[in-house]
A = this chain, B = another copy of it.
Amino acid sequence: MYNVSVGNPATEFIGLDLGGTFLKAARVAPDGVVGRRLRQPVESDSVDGLLSQLAGAVRKLEEDGPAPAVGLGIPGIVEPVTGIARGVPNLPSLEGLPLAAELAARCGRPAFAANDANAGALAEAWLGAGQDVRNMLYVSLGTGVGGGLVLDGRLFLGHAGYAGEIGHIQVEPDGVRCGCGSWGCVETIAGAPGWVRRAEKAVAGRPSILAGQRLEPAVIVEAAHAGDAAALEVLDGAARALGAGIAATLNILNVERVVVGGGVSAAGAILLDRVVAETRQRTFPAVFAGCSFRPSALGADAGVIGAARGAMLAGG
């Protein structure tokens, strides 16, 4: 695990990890040591409210000393050249906003903004489960299925910042509609709502310890550990969808490391082992043999560390 202690306040950068529900923030030293932290519920979904909260968190953390620059991860796309936010379903007011520029203006500091899974990839490649390789896929399992790519040692964003969207690879040609406009996407099966939808179906008409429980991935995983057939069916389906998406990525990119993070990855080996087995079946043998799978090493800190790392690399 990542070593957490108080670093040198004079040179610490600030990383912000904005989710749909919580804002996490921390001071991060140039060697990656995490200093003071904050965690707050997201108070508003207006542009002004969000930017004020972000700037307030930065001010609070700067009580320990000024930061050279600020980095922000968001649950959406950030265009690489313009810094404009796109496709932020959980914080729709950010859509179209030149986020890095607005944040810089509010904080009086250079600011960097990125997709949260890209921030996670940056953090894992820097200090976590991908620090020993040049090419890495980071997969973030949560409400959605996100991803980030480090290729030849650098974060790869693609033409407009959408690179790494493994959640929207089609893996079920006869699958259900996805919010993205396509259907049968990895996320429709392996995203949290996919687990719930499939569990509701799996428990219908057979005995299951899931019956009457509040269905969510953690509960389903617990039932799977207990050998519940319906829960195992849901777990197997999620693993199959993830395996097919990861296999497609491996066949296209021949990366040597897959790092799996995000809240749902807390399921641990019962999920990851199945994902690896499903990936293996669909991947060129030499490509699979050259790839190793790791759980995230930075866990819930990956977002703030990666956001701060982005600010460091952007030359702040």
Given contacts A162-B251, A254-B158, A284-B180, contact A173 B172 (CB under 8 A): yes
Q: Are A161 and B248 in contact (CB under 8 A)?
A: no
A108 within 8 A of B: no
A36 within 8 A of B: no
Q: Interface residue count for A (Cβ, 8 Å)?
A: 49
Q: Are A254 and B159 in contact (CB under 8 A)?
A: yes
A152 within 8 A of B: yes
Q: Are B165 and A251 in contact (CB under 8 A)?
A: yes
In the assembly, what is the distance between CA of A172 and CA of B172, in Å? 8
Give the contacts of A268-307 with B (CB-CB under 8 A).
281-287, 290-291
Q: Are B286 and A157 in contact (CB under 8 A)?
A: no
1/0 per residue A154-175: CB within 8 Å of B?
Answer: 0011111111111011111100
1/0 per residue A239-250: CB within 8 Å of B?
Answer: 000001101110
Give which listed residue, B134, B158, B245, B247, contacts A135 with CB less than 8 A. B158
A87 within 8 A of B: yes
For residue A164, give the distance in angstroms from its CB to the closest CB of chain B.
7
Q: Are B287 and A162 in contact (CB under 8 A)?
A: yes
Q: Are A169 and B252 in contact (CB under 8 A)?
A: yes
A86 within 8 A of B: yes
Q: Are A244 and B165 in contact (CB under 8 A)?
A: no
Q: Are B249 and A182 in contact (CB under 8 A)?
A: no
1/0 per residue A5-34: CB within 8 Å of B?
Answer: 000000000000000000000000000000
Q: Are A168 and B253 in contact (CB under 8 A)?
A: no
A216 within 8 A of B: no
A-side residues, CB < 8 A to B, are 77, 86-87, 134-135, 147, 149, 151-152, 156-166, 168-173, 180-182, 244-245, 247-249, 251-256, 281-287, 290-291
- 10 interchain pairs (CB within 8 A)? A87-B284, A152-B156, A157-B254, A158-B255, A161-B254, A162-B251, A163-B253, A168-B251, A169-B252, A182-B282
A135-B159, A149-B253 provided; 11 other pairs, C-beta below 8 A? A151-B151, A157-B254, A158-B253, A161-B254, A162-B284, A163-B254, A165-B251, A165-B284, A171-B173, A180-B285, A182-B284
Per CB-CB distance, the 4 closest pairs between chain A and chain B, nearest first, are A158-B254, A162-B254, A159-B256, A169-B248
